[in-house]
């Protein structure tokens, strides 16, 4: 309700030149949030059919259509290299986090940009002098002080947007990382048993 009664056009105007980088930060934050949320869908990271096949110990084939598929493909191409498979899985997790770190920068930097605008606005407000009384004009002074906080308001709104988006994406990545770790252990264990079986036959 509070945000609904704010004259956002005037807020942006009063924020001055700093409104442009703040609005740019908001556009970048929204793009990162939507792009990562779309890229981190289950169908793109760990499809249900592939996940079920791994958990049930069925014969599976990797591929490039998902993160789990690429990890399985690596295990199949490098049998016995458990450490290499885990390192490759960590690379897949780093790909999931691509761009998320920029949200950290935005929610830290946006309020500071807003604070710069507020300080410069307050300096301007204190220079509003009535030529007749040689004192600050109360009406114009109050108005200037009120809207001197416009840049800070914009900066805080952008920071909250980036903070919420960052938290959502980090939880999503952590969930995928935990599932990928469990599934990788199952895949490595299964391939270890499969490669051990021919060796036991030959020894007989």
SS3 readout for 85-111: HHHHHHHHHHHHCCCHHHHHHHHHHHH
Residue with tokens 């469990």: 182
Close Cβ partners of 183 (under 8 Å, ≥ 6 residues apart)? 46, 51, 54, 55, 68, 71
Cα radius of gyration (the chain): 27
pLDDT at 92 over 80: yes
If residue 130 lies in a helix (H) or strand (E), which one and from where to where? Answer: strand 129-130
Q: Which two tokens stand for residue 159?
A: 């920071």
**Residues 131/166, Cβ–Cβ less than 8 Å:** no
Q: Which two tokens stand for residue 131?
A: 């030529």
**113: nearest Cα among 16, 186, 196, 33:** 16
> What's the full length of the chain, in residues?
204
Better pLDDT: 10 or 102: 102
pTM assigned to the model: 0.77
Phi, psi of 81 (to 5 degrees): -95, 75
Domain ranges of the chain: 3-191
Looking at residue 163, its pLDDT comes to: 95
**166: nearest Cα among 85, 80, 102:** 102
Dist CA 204 CA 193 (whole Å): 17
pLDDT at 162 over 80: yes
pLDDT digits over 12-27, tens only?
776 677 788 888 999 9
Instruction: Label residue 202 by pLDDT band (50, 70, 90).
Output: very low
CB crowding 129-141: b at 16 or more within 10 Å, else e: eeeeeeebeeeeb
């Amino acid at each position: 309700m509070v945000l609904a009664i704010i004259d956002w056009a005037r807020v942006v105007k009063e924020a001055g030149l700093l409104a442009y980088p703040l609005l740019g930060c908001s556009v970048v934050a929204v793009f990162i949030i939507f792009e990562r949320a779309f890229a981190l869908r289950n169908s793109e990271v760990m499809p249900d059919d592939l996940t079920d096949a791994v958990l049930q110990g069925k014969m599976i084939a990797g591929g490039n259509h998902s993160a789990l598929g690429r990890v399985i493909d690596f295990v199949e191409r490098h049998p016995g290299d458990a450490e290499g498979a885990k390192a490759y899985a960590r690379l897949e997790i780093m790909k999931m986090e691509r761009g998320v770190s920029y949200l950290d920068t935005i929610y830290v930097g946006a309020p500071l940009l807003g604070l710069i605008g507020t300080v410069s606005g307050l300096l301007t407000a204190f220079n509003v002098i009535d030529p007749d009384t040689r004192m600050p004009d109360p009406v114009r002074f109050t108005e200037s002080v009120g809207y001197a906080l416009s840049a800070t308001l914009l900066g805080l709104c952008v920071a909250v947007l980036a903070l919420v988006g960052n938290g959502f994406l980090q939880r999503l990545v952590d969930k995928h990382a935990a599932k990928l770790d469990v599934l990788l252990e199952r895949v490595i264990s299964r391939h270890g048993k499969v490669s051990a079986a021919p060796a036991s036959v030959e020894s007989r």
